[in-house]
Structure 1
Amino acid sequence: MPAPFHEVRFPLDVSVKSRGGPRRRTDVVIVGSGREERNARWAHSRRRYDAGYGVKTLESLAAVVAFFEERRGRLYGFRWRDRLDDRSCAHGQAPGPLDQAIGVGDGATAAFALAKTYGGAFAPYRRPIAKPVAGSVRVAVAGAEKQAVRDFDMDPATGIVSFRPGAIPPEGAKVTAGFLFDVPVRFDTDELIVDLAAFEAGEIPSIPLVEILP
């Protein structure tokens, strides 16, 4: 059973000024000869953020506290906008229907999951995208853009593109997509402790968040 999740975005004015990024877990063993053996513990990176860096006013702090309370601390997940990595294309560009390969048609499969691939020359990493921004997804089949609603439906809560019966990709046709997306996260604490005197003096409060992996 999936963990409870609220389809609501963390206050944007705070998230775009926050701190964080991807984290991986790798075991490194030094053998007798001095050489290393390395093994990836996680198939996917897991992002961590500290929203405290984006809180600049008491009004913003109060909004974050209210958001925290409604999420019941770590209980409910929510959407987070990562300003550094929030789209299928290069930073600052607009998403296009040819940005990311998400599958190849076989004439029968109607559902395709959004994904973003990083790199390509050595060991490309394919990241599942489960929280696209509603209305931002553009899809193409064999290079020809398809129309939302007429040709396909997009579930912004799962990142699944579902083609309608008359538009199912034929065998061998490359399916691509472009999109904006949020990161599914939760608070990584069940308490917020803020020293208001220190905050007003410029101290940064700690508000840790962690990505929820699919």
Structure 2
Amino acid sequence: MGFHEVRFPASLSFGSVGGPERRTEIVALANGFEERNTPWRHSRRRYDAGVGMRSLDDIDTLIAFFEARSGQLHGFRWKDWADFKSCVPSAVVSATDQTVGVGDGTTNEFRLQKRYASGAEGYDRAICKPVAGTVVVAIDGAEQAEGQHWSVDAGTGVLSFTTPPADDAMITAGFEFDVPVRFDTDSLMVSVDGFQAGEIPDVPVVEVRV
């Protein structure tokens, strides 16, 4: 599978609809109870890029982007305007937003992640497409200098330290991130007359595992 490290135009994804989906298998038992299981450890996000189209120029930009990705063939970055920061959308990213690991004096690579918590339960989502220039890192609350103490691979979300963090050192990070996606169709159906009348094309986009 090919992946292009290019972001779908953020001005067009703004206003789109979508979000995470889960897959749950439910078996109803004879006694009225039910068993629930899932084959998915991680959620998968879906969006409709067509909702963000507001003009014929937007359609032209969409077609160019679609053709450059060869339809479903190549993945790309997507900005989820409802969830693109390590903190809440209204806050400013800080180096203590998310815990990404605990030092052991040996390990010098850690993957960025974001935790979604509600009560005592939570879900840790691996972040593999951080936005370059937005990542900040701290060890035990002390911010570390990029390039001097650490670096990050914007294509994988792996954080690398020049010197392994000390034993029991708390490693935290803040960042903006994109979602790796692909088009979920190999065709675009666009009607100029229909679009001018207020109709929008259906442009499904789905998250991919990378």
Aligned twin of 1:33 = 31
CA RMSD of aligned residues (A): 0.9
Which residue does the alignment assign to 1:171?
A: 167
TM-score by length of 2: 0.98
The alpha carbon displacement at 1:41 in A equals 2.0
- Structure 1: gaps of 5 or more residues: none
Is the partner of 2:181 in helix, strand or coil? Answer: strand
Q: Aligned AA for 2:44?
A: R
TM-score, structure 1 normalization: 0.96
Structure 1 counterpart of 2:162, one-letter code: R
Letter in 1 for 2:202: S
Residue 198 in structure 1 maps to residue 191 in structure 2: no
CA offsets 1:132-171 (integer angstroms, 9 cap, x no match):
0101001111111101001001111110110013xx2001
For structure 2, which runs of at least 5 residues remain unmatched after alignment? none
> Aligned residue for 2:16?
18
* Structure 1 position 123, deviation (Å): 2.1
Q: Deviations over 1:11-37 (max 9, x none)?
A: 111101111100000011110011111
* 1:14-68 Cα distance to aligned partner (Å, 9 max, x none): 1011111000000111100111111122111100000000001000000000000
Q: Which digits, 9 at most, give the CA deviation of each residue in 1:115-143, with x for residues without a partner?
A: 00000523210000000010100111111
Secondary structure (helix, strand or coil) at the match of 2:121 reads coil
Distance 1:171 1:120 in 2: 29
Structure 1 residue identity aligned to 2:79: R
Q: Which runs of 4+ in 1 moved over 3 A?
A: none
Residue matched to 1:180: 176
CA distance, structure 2, for counterparts of residue 62 and residue 209 of structure 1: 18
CA–CA separation in structure 1 for the residues paired with 2:205 and 2:44: 11
Q: 2:136 pairs with 129, 135, 138, which one?
A: 138
The corresponding residue for 1:213 is 209
Distance 2:131 2:192 in 1: 35
